[in-house]
Amino acid sequence: MLTSIRNSSVLTAQFRLGACRVGNATTLKASQLFSRKQQRFAHTPTRNAGFKQLTSADIEQFKSMLPSETILATPAVGGSSDPVELEGFNADWLNKYRGASQLVLRPKSTQEVADILRYCNENQIAVVPQGGNTGLVGGSVPVHDEVVLSLRNLNKIRGYDEVSGVLACDAGCVLEELDNYVAERGHTMPLDLGAKGSCHIGGNVATNAGGIRFLRYGSLHGSVLGLEVVLPDGTILDNMSLLRKDNTGYDLKQLFIGSEGTLGVITGVSLLTPRRPAAVNVAVLGVSSYEQVQVAFKLARQRCGEILSAFEFWDASCMGAVLHHHALRNPLSSEFPFYVLIETSGSNKSHDDEKLSELLEELMEAEVVEDGALAQDDSQIAKMWTMREGIPESLGKTGATYKYDVSIPIPVLYDVVGDIASRLEAAGLYKQGDTTRPVKLVCGYGHIGDSNLHLNIVADKFQDKVTDIFEPFVYEWVQSHRGSISAEHGIGLMKRDYLKYSKSSPMIDYMKRIKSLFDPKGILNPYKVV
Ligand code: FAD
Ligand code: MLT
Ligand code: ZN
């Protein structure tokens, strides 16, 4: 039936019942993070005894380099900050990893970052760079007592060229704030993700974040034009190019994109911002099988290729969680095994409306899609996006969430969800619908347009007994299907020991050589990636 796609009044009435809020990492506050008991994994690497343990003399040195209000040091290292103030810097967003740092430094300039790193390098003090701390692989928090180097005070826009759309800014600028800034000038950031209200552009570059606009604007490897990076020995690499074309030898900035804070600290970013689309349409569709999701994607590209800006999917378990935790109602007439969100962005509203309507009609007539809803205004668009972007937060509220962000060829992409569920069932840890078992949900969602699945397993707590059922199985599964063990979140601490499933040993060997070239003493983000 086509009615709910066409009948805007029905849709509006349904949506009016729910409060609108776009999923945002800031919604889990530090106090909530610490209300859940945290497990330390058997796989946690032991502390490298070569790293210096901080003393009050070190704190005095940092005080001579930085304004006092930018330093948080606990009494354990001769400071006076309440350890509670450091908790938010020590625990990750998933509440899965927790360090024991006693010192957080929040420099306000590139020169201060350079002074800190030079001192740490000379004194063999380990450092973890931290942006918005929304990373999902344990990369942004200390493993032991590393100094946290927070970039949050480096948050100025350095310049904007409205003709070329080139933005230059500090690394600690929050993605959503940058998007608001360029929106006022008719442009958009080339990336968008559920954590936009908290993550920093420097963190985005350091993780080579993907997100929901990857389908349209591609990777940060293409959008980033220049970087300013401070190396572990304090050298400032000023590569803040504002040019799209620059073929002057090796493109060093590419090495830092996706390096997860292991090669240098990014302090400045310049990047290309596309024109903001004048016309945006969003539809949510109910689909009866994963096969039909693929048919819908193929047809969407055929019919709306030039205006298609996102094609996301999620399964019924994700929908259940998001509707439970957000004040939203399903805009469709009933429940479906799969949901698809299609977004078009273009410059001519009537042209885009017509193309999308034709696509939706064709999908319905061919019975690829069983029901759908087309947003009638910006508020409905926001609510539909909440249904997709609110999934991570909803799963986090359901329980301890194991996250795998894998790239798998589209035809077999969803099979891994069933295979993992079967393994957990065979081990007696999971039965769909039975919340008394240790594992409550096994579900999948993601950026299907980019072959990127988010496989999530929600348990009552993180524990090795559960983890061992699907690790390394999930990585072996991905390797055997020629996939990647990380499509967008990176390696961090979580996947460090599993890199071999996506990289050959000569490649890992060269990665290690690059690491020791930039960071011979290994002080920067130790225990992570390689
Ligand atoms: P952090 O979490 O602070 O750090 C991440 C890594 O980068 C760490 O290794 C850290 O050491 C390093 N780092 C941070 N800043 C710097 C710097 N200035 N210089 C050097 N190294 C640095 N990711 C996606 O790719 N796509 C998504 O769609 C997506 N959606 C998300 C939705 C939610 C609700 C959440 C919580 C996370 C999501 N993420 C997603 C993951 C995360 O938001 C991204 O990885 C983001 O880019 C991290 O930015 P951050 O500033 O929070 O970095
Ligand atoms: C997303 O696409 O929602 C993010 O990558 C976060 C997640 O994987 O949960
Ligand atoms: Zn994602």
Report the separation in Å between the CA atom of 352 and the middle of ligand 1, taken as the mean of its atom positions: 33
Q: 157-272 has which fold?
A: 3.30.465
Question: Does position 26 have pLDDT exceeding 90, yes or no?
Answer: no
Report the separation in Å between the CA atom of 281 and the middle of ligand 3, taken as the mean of its atom positions: 21
Half-sphere exposure of 367 (CA within 13 A, CB side): 0
Which residues belong to CATH 3.30.43.10 in the chain? 56-150
Angle made by CA atoms 484, 251, 153, in degrees to the nearest 5: 85
CATH node for 56-150: 3.30.43.10
The stretch 67-88 carries a mean pLDDT of 97
The stretch 248-273 carries a mean pLDDT of 98
Under the banding of pLDDT at 50, 70 and 90, the label for residue 8 is very low
Looking at the structure, give the CATH architecture of the domain made up of residues 2-20+277-391. Answer: 2-Layer Sandwich (3.30)
Question: Does position 7 have pLDDT exceeding 80, yes or no?
Answer: no
**Ligand with the closest atom to the CA of 195:** 1
| Pick from 38-42, 428-432, 502-506: least confident | 38-42
Report the separation in Å between the CA atom of 318 and the middle of ligand 2, taken as the mean of its atom positions: 12
pLDDT at 44: 87
Under the banding of pLDDT at 50, 70 and 90, the label for residue 498 is very high
Token pair in block for residue 447: 């950026």
Token pair in block for residue 448: 């299907």
pLDDT at 14: 27
| Nearest residue to 485 (alpha-carbon basis) of 428, 419, 411, 408 | 408
Phi-psi region of 154 (alpha: psi -120 to 50; beta: other; left: phi over 0): beta
| Pick from 14-28, 66-80, 343-357, 405-419: least confident | 14-28
Ligand 1 pocket test: which of 143, 207, 237 has the largest number of ligand atoms within 8 Å of its C-beta?
207
Residues above pLDDT 90, as percent of the chain? 91
Task: Answer yes or no: is the C-beta of 129 below 6 A from any ligand 1 atom.
Answer: yes
Q: Find residue 236's DSSP bridge partners.
A: 230
Which atom belonging to ligand 1 lies closest to the Cα atom of 267? 18
Question: Does position 442 have pLDDT exceeding 70, yes or no?
Answer: yes
Peptide bond into 392 cis (omega under 30): no
Across all residues in the chain, what is the average pLDDT? 92
Under the banding of pLDDT at 50, 70 and 90, the label for residue 35 is very low
Quick check: 37 and 86 in contact, CB under 8 A?
no
Which residues belong to CATH 3.30.465.10 in the chain? 157-272
Alpha carbon distance 342, 513 (integer Å): 43
Which atom belonging to ligand 1 lies closest to the Cα atom of 209? 25
pLDDT at 473: 98
pLDDT at 252: 97
Question: Does position 392 have pLDDT exceeding 50, yes or no?
Answer: yes
Locate tokens 């590209």: which residue?
Answer: 301
pLDDT at 6: 35
Q: Find residue 167's DSSP bridge partners.
A: 160, 271
Ligand 1 pocket test: which of 32, 130, 262 has the largest number of ligand atoms within 8 Å of its C-beta?
130
What does the pLDDT look like over 91-118, one tens digit per residue?
999 999 999 999 999 999 999 999 999 9
Under the banding of pLDDT at 50, 70 and 90, the label for residue 327 is confident
Amino acid at 488: E
What does the pLDDT look like over 165-184, one tens digit per residue?
999 999 999 999 999 999 99
Angle made by CA atoms 363, 367, 373, in degrees to the nearest 5: 55
Report the separation in Å between the CA atom of 446 and the middle of ligand 2, taken as the mean of its atom positions: 7
Which atom belonging to ligand 2 lies closest to the Cα atom of 312? 2
Alpha carbon distance 169, 150 (integer Å): 16
Task: Answer yes or no: is the C-beta of 204 below 6 A from any ligand 1 atom.
Answer: yes
| Pick from 3-17, 116-130, 247-261, 273-287: least confident | 3-17
Ligand 2 pocket test: which of 385, 398, 454, 458 has the largest number of ligand atoms within 8 Å of its C-beta?
454
Distances from the Cα of 515 to the Cα of 46, 511, 518, angstroms = 20, 6, 6
Report the separation in Å between the CA atom of 488 and the middle of ligand 3, taken as the mean of its atom positions: 7
Which residues belong to CATH 3.30.70.2740 in the chain? 399-489
Angle made by CA atoms 193, 196, 201, in degrees to the nearest 5: 100
What does the pLDDT look like over 456-488, one tens digit per residue?
999 999 999 999 999 999 999 999 999 999 999
Question: Does position 370 have pLDDT exceeding 50, yes or no?
Answer: yes
Question: Does position 78 have pLDDT exceeding 50, yes or no?
Answer: yes
Which atom belonging to ligand 1 lies closest to the Cα atom of 261? 21
pLDDT at 42: 54
CATH code matching the domain that covers 399-489, chosen among 3.10.105.10, 3.30.565.10, 3.60.10.10, 3.30.70.2740 = 3.30.70.2740
Question: Does position 308 have pLDDT exceeding 70, yes or no?
Answer: yes
Question: Does position 244 have pLDDT exceeding 70, yes or no?
Answer: yes
Residues above pLDDT 70, as percent of the chain? 92
Distances from the Cα of 426 to the Cα of 351, 420, 429, 461, 473, angstroms = 52, 10, 8, 19, 14
Q: What b/e sequence results for 19-28 when a residue is b if at least 16 CB atoms lie within 10 Å of its CB, and e otherwise?
A: ebebbbbeeb
Question: Does position 32 have pLDDT exceeding 80, yes or no?
Answer: no
Which residues belong to CATH 3.30.70.2190 in the chain? 2-20+277-391
Ligand 2 pocket test: which of 134, 193, 448, 451 has the largest number of ligand atoms within 8 Å of its C-beta?
193
pLDDT at 212: 97
Task: Answer yes or no: is the C-beta of 193 below 6 A from any ligand 1 atom.
Answer: yes
Task: Answer yes or no: is the C-beta of 138 below 6 A from any ligand 1 atom.
Answer: no
Which atom belonging to ligand 2 lies closest to the Cα atom of 403? 8
Question: Does position 292 have pLDDT exceeding 50, yes or no?
Answer: yes
Token pair in block for residue 472: 């390394």
pLDDT at 31: 31
Question: Does position 242 have pLDDT exceeding 80, yes or no?
Answer: yes
Report the separation in Å between the CA atom of 28 and the middle of ligand 2, taken as the mean of its atom positions: 15
